Structure 1
């Protein structure tokens, strides 16, 4: 994972950008994370992470058209890049490898 370390929130937002595909803008990302995880976040935190991911080359952004519902303001849409996909793949492989290393005896308990 050298050079592509993702923080937990970065990884969560990057996964969400990929899942939302063409509809990944700040508020939609934030809402989807809350819907899927029950974890609330504010818009400024989501935008800060999205900007950081863009600086790292993990996402690109484009401006959408102005809409009346937003008072003429445009949405900034984010798209996963090949570099971002690679970072997610490496993160997944790393977590999966660690999980596989847990001895079966460690899971020998009743719930």
Structure 2
């Protein structure tokens, strides 16, 4: 069973994207940000699936905005990182940094 204090790669990227976008953001800007940073398409469905997992874990919280005519009367769901999400970011960074520092020299690096 996985330890819920640590984040998977995509969850980590989602939390960092929310913070980069200054919290209270929704799925479309997050998918756009991640697509740009990763230099490959990130589907909106994968973003929302990760956001749902992160919300269940208590690492993000969501609020509904006002409904808008351009969205057919539907409201946008805005996400922000919780204090638990910030702790998970720090713990994940600590673990990853420790792993990187403990590696022997890697041969056959990138050209």
Shift of 1:110: 9.2
Which sections of structure 2, spanning at least 5 residues, go unmatched? none
1:39 counterpart SS class:
coil
Deviations 1:32-62 (A, max 9, x none): 0001111312211111110110000000000
CA distance in 2, matches of 1:20, 1:12: 12
Name the structure where helix makes up a greater proportion of residues: 1
1:6 counterpart SS class:
coil
**TM-score using structure 2 length:** 0.84
CA distance in 1, matches of 2:24, 2:60: 13
**Aligned position for 2:40:** 39
Q: What aligned pairs does 1:1-111 form with structure 2 within 5 A after superposition?
A: 2-103=3-104, 105-106=105-106, 111=111
CA distance in 2, matches of 1:96, 1:110: 20
Q: CA RMSD in A?
A: 2.3
**TM-score using structure 1 length:** 0.84
Which sections of structure 1, spanning at least 5 residues, go unmatched? none
CA distance in 1, matches of 2:75, 2:23: 15
